[in-house]
Structure formats: structure tokens, C-alpha cells
Chains A and B, each alone.
Chain A
Amino acid sequence: MKRFAQVGLLVLAGLGLLHTSLFTDEYLRFVKAGMRPLLIASGVLLIGLGAAEAWPGRRPGGGDAHGHDEDHGPGHGRDRADDHGRAEAHADAHADAQAYGDGGRHEGDGHGHGHGDGRDDGVRVGDGDGGHGHDHSRVPRVAWLLFLPVLSLLFYAPPALGSYTASREPAKVVAVQEDAFDPLPATSPLPITLTEFTQRVQQDRSRAIKGRTVRMTGFVTSADGDGWYLTRIVISCCAADSTTLKVRVYGPAAPKADTWVTVEGTWHPGGALGTSSAEVAVDARGVTKVDKPSNAYMDAVPLAS
């Protein structure tokens, strides 16, 4: 990878992280809100690294890996060359393993030139056949792959996980509430999270939820058979570890999948309330569309309307 590509990659990566965490809240589609300071710091650091690499006057413009020898006096050229020859040897072992699925085959000294009198130590693993070895990149080609997520963050961020993921995952097993349940507040309709509704239906022996009108917000996932699912995807670290909360909704026809809605209704009788046999479902009386929350991966109570 040429020096200007490295500079570009570092600066773009920094900008991408800043874009996603500082200028917008798109990072909430991928990770938890607590990651924000770390992401901003990483973005600043990456831009700083890129700027330091690009700092003019240190080396002739557009130099690449050859620049190491220009950097250091001839007296030290040998030592430096050694280091970087080796660094590159590792690098290309990777790159070749990537390209050919055979890191060990291309043994040779394809990368010795341009590195002073680096000892021919037999450690180098290069592309001895030479056909493609003419960019003496210090950084392996696999680093180019970083451009994909970086550009995607900057220009084409994917949406938060939605009904596609939710429909393929079984409903999350909610944590068992160890203590006795508190009495439910008297407000009606009662704003409640999907987690708490599930706990109340399947674990609350006092059956306080019976007959109560509840309000819950989530997005729509279609279901087999009767009704549809009101769903939330929650994450513990990043979107790779997502789990899905589902409440089956009976009554009104299903809105379009992935629409965010607030549902008002009462528990749909099925199974014994307060035990795990109870169906986590509501008979809906009203379904209203709401805006998608910026932090979609949090099981929050509906906002007051």
C-alpha cells in the first residue's frame, strides 16, 4: 500500500468514525451509546496518525516504502532495512495467504530490493514469482479491505437491524425476576417495556397485568398464523450479539414490516397467566405509527403522547 493510500485510509477512517459518532448518531445502529467517547477518541487519533504520516518535508512527496532508507542515515540503513524487510515479510505472508490461500508457497526474496542491504536472511516470504509484486507496499494488501467499512460508514451506512433479523431469531428468554414484583402504577394506559411485559405475563404470580391496558412501542415483524409481532432488538455490546423481544399482537391488520408503532391493548388470554405457559400477546385496541427512535437497540417505554 502506497504512502498516500495509507494517509488517505487513516484520515478517511478517522472521518468515518467521527461522522458516525460525533456528527450523527448513526453509531447507535452498531454499538451501544457508551462507546461514543471511545469512537470519537479513535477518530481523532486516526486523523492525527494520518496527518503525521502526511506531514510535508519529511520525505519527498509520494514516496512509498522505499522512503525508509531516505529517512535514516546510511550508517543505520542496514538495521532499519532489516526491520522493515521483516515487517514486510510478515505482511506479504498475509497478503499471499489472502490471495492464494497458501501463505507458505511463495517463498523467495521478492521484496528485498529497495531496502538497502538488508541481509538476505531467508526469513522473507515474498512472492518469488514476482508477477504482482511490484508495489513494494510496507503495509499488506489486506489493509485495503479497511476501505470498505470506512467508506460505508461515511457514505452508505446500513440501517439498524430490523424485522429480517427479528423474524429469524427466536424470542429472547428474559431474565427471571428474583424479587417479588412491585405493584403496577395506576396510570392507564400503562407505558411498559417489552421486557417488563414479558416478565409480568410469564413470571408475576400476582397476575397484576390481568385486565390492564398497556402501551408498548416497537417495530413490526410479520408472523406465521394469526396476528403479527411487536418487536425490539436489544444488544449487549454490538449488533452481532442481538437478541429479539417479541409480543404477539392480535386485532388490527399488520402494518408494513419495520414500521415503528405504539400498540395499546390488554393481555391476550392464552395459557396460565404468571407461568411460562402464558402467551406473550396483546389484544390491540389501537395502533399508531411513531418515529423510529435514534437508539433502536434499547427496550424503552413509549414516550408520552
Chain B
Amino acid sequence: MQETEIRPSAVAADGARGAGAGRGLPRHWPLMLLGAAVAPGAVLVLVGRTLEVPAVQAWRTVCLAVTVQALPFLLLGTALSGAINAFVPASVFSRLLPKRAALAVPVAGVAGVVLPGCECASVPVASSLIGRGVTPAAAFAFLLSAPAVNPVVLTATAVAFPGSPEMVLARLVASLVTAAAMGWLWLWLGREEWLRPVVRHSGHRPGHSRWTEFRRGFQHDFLHAGGFLVVGAMAAATFNVAVPRSVLDTFSGSPWLSVLFLAALAIVLAVCSEADAFVAASLSGFSPVARLAFMVVGPMVDLKLIALQAGTFGRAFAVRFSAATAVVAVVCSAVIGGVLL
């Protein structure tokens, strides 16, 4: 915004100077000077006017509201994941897991509780687990469950849905079942060659200050996730302000369409799992099952996660894995939501 306001004046000034230096002062130089003086102000006023339009103001308010609401949770999540990365050796995870892969999958899914971060934090951790010899199936169960079943996210869900603890329970169960199902699916159908070779990636290293490692990890994760939070907030605000409620009503009327619609919305909006419960709560026209699908699919599959997984594990993996996860997550949330909600 700032740049667009400044640029025209700089261009105008350059133009005037360039012409002046070449052939003496141009004929209309007072006019040009006047233009250079007035144009930035006019642009400023126009931009200002646009920002004062009620719709734009409402958009900015909603956008800031989502950001402000999510920032403390995001800080908490990235601080804790930074601390675990720096202070808890990753080998602890692999020692705790059962040797049989089929058993390790659900255990790893439940172990997701200990990584109180959003989905951006879980991808590097899952990659490091694979690097430490954990079977990929278990690491993927962890990758999928960690952003959805940890205490920070469940607390946020409880706060967002006051008076309906069954929503928290449904989210926990549906996420765990989806994560375990995807882990077993990988054991059954997965192929190692889809995965890019994973390098060693670990938290603390001897000889380094744990404090510095913690601080750096924290800062990196926060800035990283914070940027995507803003993207998500903007998308959510646009959706919130621009889409008339009647469109939502056409989808919210049909139970099956509404589940699919909100699942697709979760993928597109890419809201951080620590904040998505608040977005889901705001979609008050939809059935609880559809909102559950939004909260189960969101932390497991979304645009930023697909990009992150493509970068970490390779594109061949990310495409197959995300597509399968989306289908499994929708089915799980529909079944479990139907039973619990």
C-alpha cells in the first residue's frame, strides 16, 4: 500500500529531472512540477477513500481480527515446538514407538498430542522422524494428527465452540482415526520411491547453545507461520465480506454438499490449525458435521501444506498423499460427526 502511494511521485520526479537535464527545462516545467506535487497527494486521497469504503473497512477489521485472535496461539505453538526441537531429542520419539509398523502408526498418531504447534511445525518434525529411522507410515500418522489433536488446538476449539464439548471430542477422534487410516494406507499401498531421500534433521546438537537454537527455531517458525496466517486471514476476510450469505445458504441447505463445500474451503483458506476453529465457529449457517469436516481437513490438507510437503518429501508424494488424505478425512469426519454430533 505504502509503495503504491510513493511510486508515482518518484516516477514523476525522475521524469522531470531527466527531461530537465537533457535539454534544459522543458516548456511546461511548472505544470510538471505542479503535477509532481499534486499527484502523490491525489493518489493518497484516492487510496484513502478506497480504504474508507465500508466494505473495505469491514474487510480490514475481519482480517485484523483473525490475525490478532490467532497471534497469541501461534506464538505459543511455535515457542513450544521450538522448545521441543531444541530441548527434547528426537530419538526419544523413535525409542517410544513399537517395533511393528502397524502398531507404531496409531501410537505415533496419539503421540501427536505432544507437538503443540500448527501444521507448519509438524512437517519438519515428521521429516526428522523419518531421518531418525522411524517408519514413514508412523511419521505420517504423526504429521497428520499433531496439528489437530494437540492441547493448544483443542483448547482453541473449546474456546471457539463454547458449550459444545462434543465438538472437541469429535475433532480429536476424527483426526486420530484419519491419521491412523492414512498411516495404514501408506503401509498397504505406499512406495518408498515416491519419497525424496530425507537427510538427517535434528534438534539440539552438542556444542551449541540450546537457548540460541530454541530462539532461532521459534523466530523462524513464527515469522514463517505468521506470514501464512496473514494470507489465511485475508482469504477468510474476503470470503467473510464478499460472499453473500445467500450463497452459503444454498450449500448449507444440503447436508452432503455442505460437508464437501467446507472441506474444499478448508483446503483453499489454509487457515492455521490453531485458528481454524474460530473460522469454523463463524460459519454458523452450516451443520456441525460440515464444520467438523472443515476442522479435520484443514490441518491435514491445505494449499500451504501441499507446498510444504512438496518441498520436504517431493511432489510425487505430496500430490498422492494430499488427495488421499482429503478423501479419508472427509469420510472420517462425516461418519464420526454423524455419530457424535
Binding site for B on A (CB under 8 A): 1, 6, 9-10, 13, 17, 20, 27, 29-31, 35, 38-39, 41-42, 45-46, 49, 52-53, 71-73, 75-76, 79-80, 82-83, 86-87, 89-94, 96-98, 103-104, 119, 121-123, 125, 138-146, 148-149, 151-153, 156-165, 168-170, 236-243
Cβ of B57 and Cβ of A158 under 8 Å apart?
Answer: yes
List the B side residues contacting A6 at CB < 8 Å.
219, 223
Q: How far is the CB of A8 from chain B (nearest CB, A)?
A: 12
A31: contacting residue among B69, B245, B311, CB under 8 A: B69
Contact B58 A240 (CB under 8 A): no
Binary flags per residue of B292-313, CB closer than 8 Å to A gives 1, else 0: 0000000000011011101110
Top-9 shortest CB links A-B: A93-B311, A241-B282, A142-B227, A164-B54, A239-B65, A103-B307, A97-B307, A30-B65, A238-B69
Query: A-contacting residues of B (Cβ < 8 Å)?
Result: 1-2, 51, 54-55, 57-58, 60-69, 71-72, 75, 79, 123-124, 127, 159-160, 162, 196-202, 205, 207-208, 212, 215, 218-220, 222-224, 226-231, 233, 236-237, 240-241, 244-245, 278-279, 281-282, 284, 303-304, 306-308, 310-312, 315, 318
Shortest CB distance B264–A (Å): 17
Shortest beta-carbon distance from B82 to chain A in Å: 10
Majority-rule SS of B interface residues? helix
Q: Verify A86–B199 contact, CB threshold 8 A.
A: yes
Question: How many whole Å from A242's CB to the nearest CB in chain B?
Answer: 8
From A30, A42, A86, A145, contact of B72 by CB (8 A): A42
Query: B227–A144 contact, CB under 8 A?
Result: yes
Inter-chain pairs besides A97-B303, A240-B65, 12 sampled, C-beta below 8 Å = A42-B71, A49-B218, A86-B124, A121-B197, A143-B227, A148-B1, A157-B64, A168-B245, A236-B160, A238-B278, A239-B62, A240-B236
* Pair A20/B68 contact, Cβ less than 8 Å: yes
Tell me how far the C-beta of B243 lies from the nearest C-beta in chain A, rounded to whole angstroms: 10
* Cα–Cα distance between A49 and B66 once the two chains are bound (Å): 22
- B237 engages A240 (CB within 8 Å): yes
B281: which A residues are within 8 A, CB to CB?
236-237, 241
Q: Cβ of A153 and Cβ of B231 under 8 Å apart? A: no
B226 near A86 with CB under 8 A, answer no
Q: Are B201 and A86 in contact (CB under 8 A)?
A: yes
B residues within 8 A CB of A139? 219-220, 223-224
Would you give the shortest CB distance from B301 to chain A, in whole angstroms? 14
**Can you report 29 residue pairs joining A to B where beta carbons are below 8 Å apart?**
A1-B223, A30-B65, A30-B68, A45-B79, A49-B219, A80-B205, A80-B208, A86-B201, A86-B312, A90-B224, A91-B220, A94-B228, A94-B308, A97-B303, A104-B310, A121-B199, A123-B311, A138-B220, A142-B230, A146-B230, A149-B230, A157-B64, A163-B54, A236-B162, A237-B159, A240-B65, A240-B237, A240-B282, A241-B282
Query: CA of A57 to CA of B245 in the docked complex: distance in angstroms?
Result: 56
Instruction: Find chain B residues with CB under 8 A from A141 CB.
Output: 227
Shortest beta-carbon distance, B267 to chain A, in Å?
14
Q: For B236, list chain A residues within 8 Å (CB).
A: 240
B312 surroundings in chain A (CB, below 8 A): 86, 89-90, 93, 123
Tell me the minimal C-beta distance from A108 to chain B in angstroms: 12
The 8 Å CB contact of B223, one of A146, A151, A241, A242, is A146
Q: Which residues of A contact B240 (CB under 8 A)?
A: 240
Chain B residue contacts of A148, Cβ below 8 A: 1, 230
- CB A42 to nearest CB in B, in angstroms, measures 4
B54 / chain A contacts, CB cutoff of 8 Å:
162-164
Pairwise interchain contact A140-B64, C-beta atoms closer than 8 A:
no
Q: Across the interface, do B64 and A158 meet the contact criterion of CB distance under 8 Å?
A: yes
Contact A149 B64 (CB under 8 A): yes
Question: Contacts A123-B312, A240-B279 given: A152-B223 contact, CB under 8 Å?
Answer: no
Tell me if A90 and B227 are in contact (CB < 8 A): no
Whether the Cβ atoms of B65 and A46 lie closer than 8 Å is: no
The listed residue (A72, A90, A123, A159) touching B196 by CB distance below 8 A is A123
- In Å, the complex CA distance between A140 and B279 comes to 25
> Beyond A82-B201, A90-B308, A122-B197, is A46–B68 a contact (Cβ under 8 Å)?
no
- In Å, the complex CA distance between A103 and B310 comes to 7
For residue B235, give the distance in angstroms from its CB to the closest CB of chain A: 11
Known: A86-B201, A94-B307. A164 touches B57 (CB 8 A): yes
Chain A residues, CB < 8 A from B201: 82-83, 86
* Alpha-carbon distance between A238 and B62 when the two chains are bound, in angstroms: 8
Query: Given the complex, which residues of A lie within 8 Å of B55, measured CB to CB?
Result: 164
Residue of B nearest to A297 (CB): B65
Q: Judging by beta carbons under 8 Å apart, are A153 and B207 in contact?
A: no
B199 in complex: contacting residue of A82, A163, A236, A240, CB < 8 Å: A82
A25 shortest CB reach to chain B, Å: 13
In the complex, A13→B229 CA distance in Å?
14
How far is B276's CA from A238's CA once the two chains are assembled, in angstroms? 12
Contact between A161 and B58, CB atoms less than 8 A apart: yes
Contact in complex: A93, B308 (CB < 8 Å): yes
Q: Which residues of A contact B58 (CB under 8 A)?
A: 158, 161-162, 164-165
Residue in A13, A143, A153, A239 whose Cβ sees the most chain B Cβ within 10 Å: A239
